[in-house]
Amino acid sequence: MDYDCAKKLNGSEEITRPNDVQRQRQCKKQVLTMVLVSLVLSVMTFATIRLIAVLNNDIRNPIHPNSGNPSNIFGDCGTTPTQARDQHCLFDAMSFSWLPSACYDEELVNQFLQLRNWTWSRDREGLDSVSSEEVLQGDITELFVTHEYHFFHCTYQWRKMHRGIERGVIDTYIADYGHTEHCEHMLAMNLAFDSVDTVIRMKFPKCQVVAGARGRRE
């Protein structure tokens, strides 16, 4: 926050002109944005530390409790929507992934799909729109979305990570530290929510067992 904003918000400078009032509103918006980003980054840091701890524990003893195989990775959705359906996998529109049922969070998916009137498009200009019904079928491999969608995609993934740790299983997409770094970089960008700046591509993660498993696994 610049010095001029600080003076206007703490009352050290008298506000008399209409331009000053507008400037103060802009300053308040700037502060709220900074607070929101700081809060999200704090949650991200805590989630990452927690995830590293539980994954390190699994690496020391990587045994799938159901099969006895020396691996904490399980579930395979193939590499195409047809193969994913054949494996009884489910499509998660918020992560744009086909997932094994064991690491699919239906409740959270529905919460985020209902959070906004999300839009998808086949082009960066946002002119060739795609209906939500078509997107949810999980057959389109690449789409353009707004910065707002990208923002909430990241908050969705962090919530899913926490819930997955509690259940004892997460997907390998959110287990990848590179995705956390990507979201951190994206949140630091000062872009308009309605800008169509993101390409989402279909993924086929597997499930990964973490310590303290209590939920279902298949």
Q: What is the pLDDT of residues 46-79, one digit of tens each?
A: 555 555 444 444 434 333 334 344 468 999 999 9
The residue with tokens 């904490």 is 72
Tokens of 73: 């990775």
CB-CB contact of 104 with 92 (8 Å): yes
In angstroms, the CA 197 to CA 20 distance is: 32
In angstroms, the CA 136 to CA 92 distance is: 8
The residue with tokens 């064991």 is 102
Tokens of 203: 């993924």
Q: Mean pLDDT lowest for which of 29-33, 122-126, 175-179?
A: 29-33
Q: How many residues does the chain have?
A: 218
Q: Mean pLDDT lowest for which of 26-35, 75-84, 125-134?
A: 26-35
Q: Is the pLDDT of residue 171 over 70?
A: yes
- The confidence band for 14, taking pLDDT boundaries of 50, 70 and 90, is low
Rounded to an integer, the average pLDDT of 33-46 is: 56
Q: Is the pLDDT of residue 118 over 50?
A: yes
Through-space distance between the first and last CA atoms of the chain, rounded to whole angstroms: 50
In angstroms, the CA 84 to CA 61 distance is: 29
- The alpha-helical segments, DSSP class H, found in the chain are 3-9, 18-60, 81-86, 106-113, 132-136, 147-167, 172-175, 177-187
Strand partners, 18: none
| 4 CA to centre of own chain | 35
pLDDT of residue 49: 52
In angstroms, the CA 14 to CA 8 distance is: 7
The residue with tokens 């802009």 is 26
CB-CB contact of 199 with 94 (8 Å): no
Q: Mean pLDDT lowest for which of 60-69, 81-90, 167-176?
A: 60-69
pLDDT of residue 117: 93
- The confidence band for 191, taking pLDDT boundaries of 50, 70 and 90, is confident
Rounded to an integer, the average pLDDT of 13-34 is: 61
pLDDT of residue 164: 94
